[in-house]
Amino acid sequence: MLIPLQHFYQIPAFVRACSYEHVFGSRALTALRAYGIENSDVRFFLCGSESCPEAALCLQNGLLSVASEGNASAAPIVELCRQIAVREIHTDFELCLSLKSMLGGRMDSSCYMVYGRASVQDSFPELLPADPQTIFSVLQRSHEYYRTHLNFDPWSRDLRNRLSRGLSELYQLKVDGETVGTGSIASEDDSSAVIAAVAVLPEYRRRGLGSCITSFLTKRILEKGKIPRLISGDDKVADLYRHLGFEVCGRWGELYL
């Protein structure tokens, strides 16, 4: 069953479920810290019971993130998706397969990755803090996903909220005074922080700039005393991250409904 997160006494169980998987778990935990349980813009659920939670769910702007050990029941999540306008689901691979078998839709998948070194050895230029408007432009020009899935107003509103509370960090890479790349520390939990939205303008690719951005963010997370994590967009990109010291630690899936 799904239990809406409505009371403060439920939060420890939700935090426990978030710890099962650090990428989407830290996303849900960061959203909880940014919005609380009383904001109608973001909804939180426990799957299972408060004494033995199977998963933590976070629903925001039609995107459902599910942090699970892999044993979460698909049926109550399917029921939620049919009741509410869920357009996209991010979760572990096996659960995503189960949800697809019941909901249909199109599924993509790739790797969870975790940094496996004690420090960053590569040299790279310093990145500068960035504003959402500048970064949105880079993302739109860089990837089809961002052109089709990001709407500036809700995206920037959420990002500014997290930035103002110190829950996320946003950076830009400049070449000859022009912003040509971006990356962020999108979410954190007590032990890990997640790199996201690493993008470089098409005309500046194949220069190693994406690696520079990732290395900068990795070093920044290590300085916080936390473990750098990310999800690769596809398996070819995962090979590039391996060269930077990241290791595959599982598979995730995204389901488009």
pLDDT at res. 206: 86
| pTM, rounded to two decimals | 0.92
Q: How far apart are the first and last CA of the chain?
A: 22
Closest CA to 192 of 244, 114, 122, 245: 114
- Phi, psi dihedrals of residue 256, rounded to the nearest 5°: -100, 125
- Phi, psi dihedrals of residue 74, rounded to the nearest 5°: -80, -30
pLDDT at res. 148: 85
Tens-place pLDDT, residues 101-112: 999 999 999 999
Over range 117-137, report the average pLDDT.
87
pLDDT at res. 191: 96
Which residues, including other chains, have CB under 8 Å from residue 229's CB and lie 6 or more apart?
22, 23, 26, 112, 113, 114, 115, 192, 193, 194, 195
Angle formed at CA 165 by CA 160 and CA 169, multiple of 5 degrees: 65
pLDDT at res. 122: 73
Closest CA to 195 of 20, 69, 27: 27
Residue 121 has pLDDT above 80, yes or no: no
pLDDT at res. 229: 98
